[in-house]
Structure formats: C-alpha cells, structure tokens
Structure 1
Amino acid sequence: MEEFKFEEVDNPNAALNKKLRQFFDGKIVRKDLTKSIKEGANVPVYVLEFLLGQYCSSDDPEIIEEGVKTVKRILSENFVRPDEAQKVLSILRERGSYTVIDRITAKLNIKEDRYEAEFSNLGVREILLAPSYVSEYDRLLCGGIWCIVQLEYEYLEEDRRANPIRVRKLTPIQMPHIELDEIKQARREFTKEEWLNVLIRSTGMESDKFSTREKWLLLARMIPLVENNFNLCELGPRSTGKSHIYKEISPNSILVSGGQTTVANLFYNMSNKTVGLVGMWDCVAFDEVAGITFKDKDGVQIMKDYMASGSFARGKEEKAASASMVFVGNINQSVDVLLKTSHLFEPFPEVMAYDTAFLDRMHCYVPGWEIPKYRPDFFTNEYAFITDYLSEFMKEMRKEQYGDACDKFYKFGSNLNQRDVIAVRKMISGFTKLLYPNGEFTKEDMAEIITVSLELRRRVKEQLKKIGGMEFYDVNFSYVDNETFEEHYVPVPEQGGGKLIPEGMTNPGHVYTVSRGKSGMVGVYRLETQVLPGNGKFERTGLGSDRDAKEATNTAFNYLKANGRHISNSVSTTTKDYMINYQDLNGIGITKTLTLPTLIAICSAALQKPTLSSLAVLGEISISGTIQKVEELANTLQVCLDSGAKKVLIPITSAVDMATVPPELMGAFSIIFYNTPQEAVFKALGVE
C-alpha cells in the first residue's frame, strides 16, 4: 500500500510530528489514513479514528499497513450500511452471534417497564437493553451514540412473540477518561504556533492552508465544546465547514438538522420527566438557522431564558443544564450588500432576526465569510490528535474556568455592559483553555486573545445597534492596559466598507435623508430628481402605494408652488416637469418624512446646484412651513454616522434634544441648523 509511506525527510512538519509522537504516543493518528478510509465509509470521523487509534498507533509502515487493512476489514464486515441491513441480519441468524458498528438509541417502554434499543442503520428496534447500559451511557436516551455491539440471535419456538435478537455487550466508541495533567505538562514542549497547528489539524484541516486570522476563527468554532453555556453564531457561504466540527469531530455534540424541534426534545419532556438535548450533550448545534421553528409557541422564549442563564422553567420546577448553543447557516448575498440593506442576523427566522433580546444573548458571531471554501488540499495528511482524544480533552476542560485570565494585565473599556463582559469573558476563557490549558501565557498572548474576543462580541452589538437603535449605542469596545493605562479600541473589519452616503459632490437633485421607516427602524433614503421642460407635472416613483409618503411629497410641491419665489425665480412649477425616484437604501419600508427632502431635491435639480458633500437632511415641514423637530435625534444621528454622513442639516427646534446625544457622536459631524424651509434649502445647497 504505497500511498501510506511516510517520508519524514521531505516533510517540513517533521519536527512537530516528532514532538507529537514523543509526548502523545497512542493518542495521535496520521490524518491521511483517516481521509483515505473516510471517503469510502459513511461513519463519523471519531468512529473511524477510534479504530485507527487501536490498530495503527505506530511509526512502523508495516504495522500501519496491517492496521489499515484491519480497520477496513472491520468496517466492511461490521459497519452496517442501511442497504445491507437484511444481509447482516441473515448472517446474525446463521452464525448465532455477530458484532456490528451502528448508532444506538435507547428508549423506555413504560408499558413493559424495560429499556429498548433502536439500531439506526440496521433498522431493528425494540431490542431489549440492560438498564446498566442506560445508567452508564445516558446519551443513549437522547439522540443516540455510536457503539460496537455484540449481538446474539436465538429464536425460541415456545415464545414466538419474544424478539430473538439480544445485546450481549455494548461498548460506546469513545476513549476512556484522559489525564488532563498529562496534556498540561506536554503543552510546555510546544510553541503557541505549534499547538494552534495541532488543534487545527486535529479537526482534519491543514493549518498551513490558512492565515493566522483564519486559524483563530476556526479555533473560535471549538469554544462551545470547551465552555459551558456558550452561545455562538456563524453565518457565511456554503462549503466552509460550519457544521463539520459539531457533526463529525466530537461525540459530545449533536447537530439538529432541518431546524424544526420541540421544547420537549430540546429542553424538558414533561410527560416522562426527562431533560432534553441540552441536558445530555455538551453542545447543541442548529444547522440551517433559516429553518429553525418550534412547534410550541413558547419555544423561543424558553430558549432565550436558557441562553441567558443556563436554566429554564418547565412545569413547577426550574432545570439547569450546561450545553452550549450553536447556530450556523448560510448567507445568500455578499456581506457588503447585507450590511447596506439589512443586518447580519437577517438569515434567522423573522421571530428571531428582529428580537433584540434573543440576539443579545449571542456571545459570539464568527464571520463565516472570511473562512475560505474547503478544497481537497485543505484536509491535512499530518499527525494530529485522534478526534476522540481531542473531544475528551475539551470535555474535561469544561470543568475549569479562565474567564478572569485577562484581569492580571487588562481591564475592559467603558462601552461594555454586563452582558458584553460575560460574553467576552467566556471567549477569553475558551481561547485560553484551548491554547494555554496549563494557564501559562504572556501579556502579549492575552492581548491577542482579548482583541479577537472583543471583535467577535462587537459584531453582535453592531447588528443590535442597527436593529434596536440607541439602546445599543455603546459599541466602541476597548481594553485598557493596567500598567500604562493605554486604551486599545477593537474595530470590526466589515463595518469600514461601502458607505450609503458617499463622499464628494453628488449630482444636482440627489438628496440623502435619514428618518424612521414604515417598519419602525431608522434608515437612509435617497432622492434622485430629473427636470424636463413641461407644464408643472410632478411624478414620483419608488413610493409604492404608501399614502402617507405620497401625501408628504404632494405637500412639498404645493409648498413650492406657494413659496417658490422666496427661494428663486428659477424654480418654476409651471414651465418645468419634475420626476423624483425615492429609494429605501436599508429595505425597511418607505418613510413619510419626505416633505423637506423633496423640497430640497426639486430646488437642487431646478437650480442645477448639488447639495453639500456627505450631507444628511433631517427634519420635516408642514404645508404652512412650520418646522418640525427630529424624532429620536440620538438614534437618527447614529444612523447618519454609520451611513457615512459628515454633515447634517438639523431644524433649530431639535437643539433642545442635543443633551440626549453622546458628546462623541455630536463631535463626529458638522451640524448645520435651519430656522425656515427657505434657509434649509439655501444651507443644503451651500448658498450663503
């Protein structure tokens, strides 16, 4: 079997492989062996590597070759494929006993007062199971686990109703208990980069194919497996391995596919008094978040309760559990477009996507769009931990806490509220457990961890600000050095791109205004105006059937008819036709605050004079020209800032509300006040 020859001379990772063999002999496997067999066997990686760890734990090519043959034989003979189930049952009947590898789920038959096993691929159910197995491996009752099972077959003529298949011995495919001290001691022999590479390779990926930032994002996916009650969200393109680690790598996590679930299945079944998935697994991951639905009306509310506190109330009592929650799904458009038109949680079902209380419970948002799509050469051929060993290491580390690891060197900035601090501390704890399980790290190491952690939480807060407004204004996350008192601010990369209100001069007749839309959110609207010779027609597009918006634009044109001479004789409502297109740039529904922006847009187009660069028009006027102040001034100014505005036109009546605006937000703009509609037009066009 030539493909399994391993030439260390040509291998640049020989030193790392040598260290692994020296300190973790028997707990590592060559990942190319996993890959070569995995392609032909539809079993989770941890099942496959459990067998490879037993038969291929050697450097000797001959032993490895023999081991691979043995594993292949075991899989071909004992792993049950659904289409060969009847053949396996026939062999069991003929031989009287047979060993199978299958996913076993147990349930309690209340009428018969006994536990019964169901074999996923073999397709048989109601097989009697000893209570001792259920007591020892309680996850058999919830989702099932992969096992090696010795079966017996004995048909009794005198008792034809009895099931002839019996379980002689059941062994879950999991490594025995590991010694954490062994890992902590051995960690000292590896550099941070080497250890990071080992962790990435242990999940099956080739660390050399990823940039340092991409490695950190891949590492973030592992935090729910080492941290109790950690809520992670990752949305991104397809084929980036978002659900891979939760389905294939760890036997301690379960992937809920399809999205539909029940409170009984997930939290607590009141009929048989059993805790659901969150009590049985370390991590519950939801694949394809767009499809998450609860059959129960109170499902989302109970999930919110659990995500916030790790407990939930069902019936007369409160239950606690430690499972982390992971939400993964696809983004079907570019992030730039999504940020301009909506927010990064949009793929969630509507009941969740605009529920700020639910989204605020997300501790971490991994930017899945930054992780490259997996190609065949992204999967490693090097030595790394057997995935089951990695899983047991992560499971044991859940018992330790490193949330205060940063306090020795740094403290958090003033913008972090209590929920932010909890989220960031959980991430710091998770990253530290993974990278520095022995608790030995430098100040620079911790700065790296705290920077990534603040960014992953800030991404959540930025989206909450878009949805919920000023309640989530404080997003300028930072950390302060305890020695130098220097404050370091942590940005979110995608927030810097493509502003809705561009820099530089716009065309005459183009106006940007910021106000509340039909959905209740504050957004940006663009008016584009055309002027043609005519007899005073006024046409509008983009308003749909919204009566309030049409009424506001009619008010603007009627005001111009009555007062145009006070602005300029060149603005004619009898010899020119005007056509304005209204664009809802955030997709939140058209606004009814359009009278003043429409007036400025018509005057700008008629006079062929553009508005000031980077200007946002705020405020409204009545048919009589009365100035109306801006609703939710602080919230509106925040949207102006996020959209790229550098100048804002504000009615003088809103000056009284300036006290509600944080000073740093006020300082971000050139504020231009106006007293009358005519003054608003002049100042918007830069006319003194």
Structure 2
Amino acid sequence: MDILNDKIRELFPGECVNKGLSKSGILSTRALPSFVSDWLISKYAEADELDSVSLQRFLSQYLPDKSKADQIKHQLISERKAIKILAKFSVEPDIKTGEEWLEIPILDIKGKEGCISPTLASESLELLNGGMWGIGELIWKEGPKKGNGKIELISFKPFKPYSADLGYYREARKHFNDVSEWIDFLIKSMEYDPRSFDSVSQKLKMISRLLPFVEPRINLIELAPKGTGKSYVFGRLSKYGWLISGGSVSRAQLFYDIARKRRGIITRFDYIALDEIQTIKFSNPEEVVGALKGYLESGEYKIGAYHGEADASFVLLGNISISGKEPRNAIYTKSLPKFMQESAFLDRFHGFIEGWKLPRIKEGSVVKGYAINSEFFSEILHELRSDMIPNSIVSSIIYVPKDSDKRDATAIKRVATGYFKLIFPDIRSVDEVNIELFRTYCLNPAIEMRRIIRKQLSLIDEEYSDEMPEIRLLIS
C-alpha cells in the first residue's frame, strides 16, 4: 500500500490529501461532506501535520456548527454587520409572490426567514438547483414594518476549488499498469481501505456503487445488512447526487410540482438514491410508481400537461435480513415496499448489488494514507457522465442476438459502459481495448448484475423466465 500511496502523491500532487488527518481530531466530530473536509485538510496540513489551531480558528469563524446558529443570528441582528460563512445554501422561488426564499440548513433558516436579491439569484443559478456549498455573505435586513425582518444573502462564491481535467486524469491512469492497483485507487478515492476487502470480486461490488455517478440513467437496487457503507457513498462523496433517507417523498418532489410550476429533484442531480427504502413514506405510492415506470424506461415523464426529461440515475437502497451468509428469503425484493414489488416496475432496473457480500464497515475499513480528494474525484465522475466514447466502444465490441430481450440488452450495455468508464477511462478507441480485461471487469459483472434482476422477476411472476440472452464479445 505504500507503493500506491507514493504513486498517488506523484501523479496527483495538487489533488491528493492525507485522508487519515480528516478521520481523526477536530474534523472527525463534524458532519461535513468529504469534499469540504478534504479541502480543509489540504489547506491546513503540511508534511502530514495538521495545523489544528489555524483549522479551529477557521471553523469557528466561517464554518459554525448548528449549536451556534442562534448566536450567529443574534450577531447579525444586534451588530448589523455582514458575516461570511461556508455552508450549503439553497433558494426556492415563490411563484405566487415572485420572491426568492433562502434556506441555510446549518443555521436553521428556512421558509420566509431568508431572502436573496433577484440579481444575485440570477447570477448564482446553482442555488436554484437543489442548493450548493459556498462562501456566503449574510446581513440582517429590516422589513418595512416590524416583524418582517429577514436574513439576506448579499454575495455568494460557489465552493468549487477544483475543475475536472479528464485529460490529466486519463494520463495518470496510464501509469497504473495493473488493473487491481487501479481498483485499489478507486476504493481509496471512495474513502475505504482496499485491504479490508477479501477479493477483487468484493472490490468490484464496492465500486459498482459508483456506476450511477458516471453513467446517465442507470437504475440499480442494492440490498444489504446495516453498516456496509451504502449511505455514506451515496450521501457524502459527491455534491452532484441527492440522497433521500427516510421521511416522505411525493411525485411533485421527484418530478414536477404543478402548484409551484417547479421541476423536481430528478432534473437537478446526477443520481437520486432512496435510502432506508422500507421507512420512506410516499404521499401517493401508485402515483409515484406510475411516474417512475415511465422515467426509468425512457428518461421522460408527464405530469398533467407538463412533459419533462432528465438523465439522473435512480437507486433504491434497503436493508435485508441475512441468515449465515445469504438472505433469509430467496425472493430479495420482499425487502422492498409492497408497491415496489411489481414485476413491471422491477424489470426497469438494470442491475442488483448484493450488498451482503460486502464487508461490514469497521474502524479498520476507513481509508489510510493518501487518496485524491473527494471534490476532485466527484468532479471527474461528473464529467465522465458526458463522455460518449465509452458507449460507442462498448456497442462496437458486444454482440447482442436479435431475439434478446430489449431491457436485458440495454441493462448489460449500460452497466458494462459504467464499469468501462470507471476502470479504463484512458481508453479512447476499440483498438486499445484488452478484450480479456473487458470481459472480466466490465461485461461479466454487468451480465451478473442483470441476471439477479432477471432471476428475481422469474420468482415473483411466472411470465418471466430466468434465462438471459447470449450476449458475447464480437472480438475474441
């Protein structure tokens, strides 16, 4: 692992960070996204030593925790001075009044307690798309009459310290001659220690969680015992994803709110993950599943007279009861809410991740040493989504029989393309493809992920067979 550490430091001198520093001390007590904590480490660490005094000073001044929310509000009102903080901000337009309402979760500011000028809202469109982390300058704005005061955002600088340079990333990939070493690199980038996995197969299952990060409209189900890290990956690694954990979900929230004339979250993010799916309450389950069926199939949806399109991937995450090393029930989908157990709905998912085959996350599972920082990694994954060359390469080397089920074929191609983007980002033509490596690390895992979906369909609906199409490589 020391060799991998050295290689990461050599190939990514400006993007690597000592992850061990963010997993202990001051930052370990703060629930910060990885892309924020990594940036802080790179800013306040030198020669593997963290300047805790300077870091604490920065946190106290610019990154308050929720316990200081009332204190900051009091300061804004009583001193009438502007305050800058690093936080997540979001803006919600009010169609009825024409005003823009500001939300700052870390300060518990919501509803009509916060506002933003129309000019700044127009200049900072990312605030309208589900919100964004950044440096915001706040003032207390007195209302025209008593009782109408608000906290106003007067300036905003998005938190985006790195831009994705895919050429740079691809060139670095060429220096990893061994595929297993590159997979270890990806595991470390996900903030886990590669040594905590028993096999390459386990590691492939772990990085399969990144498929929705790099491939548009890939739909997955993962069921696993508690404590396998699925919530962390989907909730903390990237600002381009949205994790819903528990609570309630409506069709308006996901797709389109007719009353507010506002597009839903599925149009704003690279992926939507519904976590703890058994505990999520749906305002109208049939309505939600109906809209999802159309979207999962085509990327389109229709709500009333509104027709929309999106390319967000969709992920269901849930817990499953295990006996020994296998699920207690051979029908895995029994762990899903009843209204999601319909075969026509499940058939629209491209792959299944057997989360019970992943190790439980322990203290020793956390990444040690160097890895690329999460902000840079998330930008790279985001940019890979729009790279169409891998799709073309995969389509050129895979043979799909004419009598293949269309959903099976689409699923296998899409999952294989996702793996290709993750593991072989530097390959730009068919001539460069190592067919055996592609078979082992892309095609076979894709077929297996879809095979599980197909098997589950055959167990719950006699109209479905568990037979898979004989998809194979054109080049031997």
Q: TM-score, normalised by structure 2?
A: 0.90
Counterpart mapping for 1:272-421 below 5 A: 272-296=260-284, 297-334=286-323, 338=327, 341-353=329-341, 355-401=342-388, 402-412=390-400, 416-421=404-409
Hey, what does 2:39 align to over in structure 1? 50
For 2:96 and 2:281, the matched residues in 1 are separated by 32
Hey, what does 1:257 align to over in structure 2? 245
Hey, what does 1:555 align to over in structure 2? none
What amino acid sits opposite 1:250 in the alignment?
S
- Is the 1:226–1:395 contact (alpha carbons within 8 Å) kept by the matching residues of 2? yes
Counterpart mapping for 1:521-600 below 5 A: none
Give the secondary structure class of the aligned counterpart of 1:369.
helix
Hey, what does 2:151 align to over in structure 1? 165
What amino acid sits opposite 2:474 in the alignment?
N
For 2:141 and 2:283, the matched residues in 1 are separated by 43
What amino acid sits opposite 1:193 in the alignment?
S
Hey, what does 2:135 align to over in structure 1? 148
Q: 1:264 to 1:480 in 2, by over 3 A?
A: closer
Counterpart mapping for 1:50-129 below 5 A: 50-56=39-45, 60-61=47-48, 64-66=49-51, 68-92=52-76, 93-94=78-79, 96-125=81-110, 126-129=113-116
Hey, what does 1:205 align to over in structure 2? 192
Deviation at 1:387, TM superposition (A): 0.7
- Is the 1:206–1:379 contact (alpha carbons within 8 Å) kept by the matching residues of 2? yes
- Among 440, 449, 462, the alignment partner of 2:455 is 462
Hey, what does 1:4 align to over in structure 2? none
For residues 132-178 of structure 1, what are the alpha-carbon distances to aligned partners after superposition, in whole Å with 9 as ceiling and x for unaligned? 5444554533543333222234658x864553633232223334432
- Among 165, 173, 177, the alignment partner of 1:187 is 173
Deviation at 1:205, TM superposition (A): 0.3
What amino acid sits opposite 1:130 in the alignment?
S
Deviation at 1:408, TM superposition (A): 4.9
Q: 1:429 to 1:69 in 2, by over 3 A?
A: farther
Greater relative contact order (Cα 8 A, min sep 6): structure 1 or 2?
A: 2
Counterpart mapping for 1:17-36 below 5 A: 17-36=5-24
Hey, what does 1:651 align to over in structure 2? none
What amino acid sits opposite 2:30 in the alignment?
A
The alignment's C-alpha RMSD in Å is: 2.5
Counterpart mapping for 1:490-509 below 5 A: none
Hey, what does 1:514 align to over in structure 2? none
Answer with 38-47 or 426-435: which moved more. 38-47
Hey, what does 1:41 align to over in structure 2? 30
Q: 1:483 to 1:434 in 2, by over 3 A?
A: closer
Deviation at 1:96, TM superposition (A): 1.5
Answer with 120-129 or 454-463: which moved more. 120-129
Q: 1:346 to 1:474 in 2, by over 3 A?
A: closer
- 1:444 equivalent to 2:427? Answer no
Q: 1:105 to 1:164 in 2, by over 3 A?
A: closer
- Is the 1:41–1:75 contact (alpha carbons within 8 Å) kept by the matching residues of 2? no
Give the secondary structure class of the aligned counterpart of 1:105.
strand
For 1:82 and 1:226, the matched residues in 2 are separated by 33
- Is the 2:394–2:417 contact (alpha carbons within 8 Å) kept by the matching residues of 1? no
For 2:28 and 2:413, the matched residues in 1 are separated by 40
What amino acid sits opposite 2:302 in the alignment?
A
Q: 1:412 to 1:53 in 2, by over 3 A?
A: farther
Percent identity, aligned pairs only, is 28
For 2:447 and 2:401, the matched residues in 1 are separated by 10
- 1:219 equivalent to 2:204? Answer no
What amino acid sits opposite 2:168 in the alignment?
E
For 1:136 and 1:456, the matched residues in 2 are separated by 43
Give the secondary structure class of the aligned counterpart of 2:425.
coil
For 1:330 and 1:259, the matched residues in 2 are separated by 16
Give the secondary structure class of the aligned counterpart of 1:243.
helix
- Is the 1:102–1:147 contact (alpha carbons within 8 Å) kept by the matching residues of 2? yes
For residues 64-118 of structure 1, what are the alpha-carbon distances to aligned partners after superposition, in whole Å with 9 as ceiling and x for unaligned? 433x543333223332322221122233443713222333221123454221212
Q: 1:185 to 1:336 in 2, by over 3 A?
A: closer
For 2:326 and 2:2, the matched residues in 1 are separated by 45
Q: 1:154 to 1:127 in 2, by over 3 A?
A: closer
Larger radius of gyration between Structure 1 and Structure 2: 1
What amino acid sits opposite 1:82 in the alignment?
K
For 1:333 and 1:237, the matched residues in 2 are separated by 7
Q: 1:264 to 1:154 in 2, by over 3 A?
A: closer
For 2:326 and 2:7, the matched residues in 1 are separated by 47
For 1:174 and 1:184, the matched residues in 2 are separated by 21
What amino acid sits opposite 1:65 in the alignment?
L
For 2:326 and 2:196, the matched residues in 1 are separated by 28
What amino acid sits opposite 1:76 in the alignment?
S
Hey, what does 2:419 align to over in structure 1? 431
For 1:119 and 1:21, the matched residues in 2 are separated by 36
For 2:376 and 2:464, the matched residues in 1 are separated by 41
Deviation at 1:24, TM superposition (A): 1.6
Deviation at 1:406, TM superposition (A): 3.8
For 1:25 and 1:135, the matched residues in 2 are separated by 36
For 2:39 and 2:149, the matched residues in 1 are separated by 31
What amino acid sits opposite 2:149 in the alignment?
N
- Is the 2:246–2:275 contact (alpha carbons within 8 Å) kept by the matching residues of 1? yes
For 1:299 and 1:382, the matched residues in 2 are separated by 44
Q: TM-score, normalised by structure 1?
A: 0.63
Q: 1:106 to 1:160 in 2, by over 3 A?
A: same
Q: 1:246 to 1:480 in 2, by over 3 A?
A: closer
Give the secondary structure class of the aligned counterpart of 1:182.
helix
For residues 550-600 of structure 1, what are the alpha-carbon distances to aligned partners after superposition, in whole Å with 9 as ceiling and x for unaligned? xxxxxxxxxxxxxxxxxxxxxxxxxxxxxxxxxxxxxxxxxxxxxxxxxxx
Q: 5+ unaligned residues in a row in structure 1: which ranges?
A: 1-12, 485-688
- Is the 2:134–2:159 contact (alpha carbons within 8 Å) kept by the matching residues of 1? yes
Counterpart mapping for 1:595-614 below 5 A: none
- Is the 1:415–1:476 contact (alpha carbons within 8 Å) kept by the matching residues of 2? no
